[in-house]
Amino acid sequence: MEMLISLIIGLLTAVGVFLVLRGRTFPVVLGLTVLSYAVNLFIFSAGRLVIDGAAVLNSGLNTPDPIPQALVLTAIVIGFAMTAFAIILAIRARADLGNDHVDGRLQTDGEKSK
């Protein structure tokens, strides 16, 4: 299971980094979202992975660490708010600058100049 989780986190991070490096705001926002998924999974697994563990209240032998779960909850909420803000900002940039490129201008070597 460790292998699977780490592969998923790695894949999500790779996809996220690739998208963040794109030139338009929409893929960048998507990339940031994917990155935050990756990081949430990562923090979650920082408390060690346990199969068939007891829930917190039942004080069994295999109690998982509750702190990473609390951290992930906070990180999800913050990530959610930040994504919302980034989208609104991207829309505003599209309106203000006339295009959705992150630098605010289209590449001149493309099919469309200026």
- Contacting residues toward another protein, per CB under 8 A: 16, 20, 25, 28, 32, 35-36, 38-40, 42-43, 45-48, 67-68, 71, 74-75, 78-79, 81-82, 85-86, 89-90, 92-93, 96-97, 102-104
Shortest distance in whole angstroms from residue 83 CB to another protein: 8
Nearer to another protein by C-beta: 22 or 55? 22
Q: Is 101 helix (H, G, I), strand (E, B) or coil?
A: strand
Shortest distance in whole angstroms from residue 45 CB to another protein: 8
Closest CA to 33 of 85, 71, 74, 68: 85
The answer to whether the Cα torsion of 66, 76, 30, 20 is positive or negative is negative
Q: How many residues are present in the chain?
A: 114
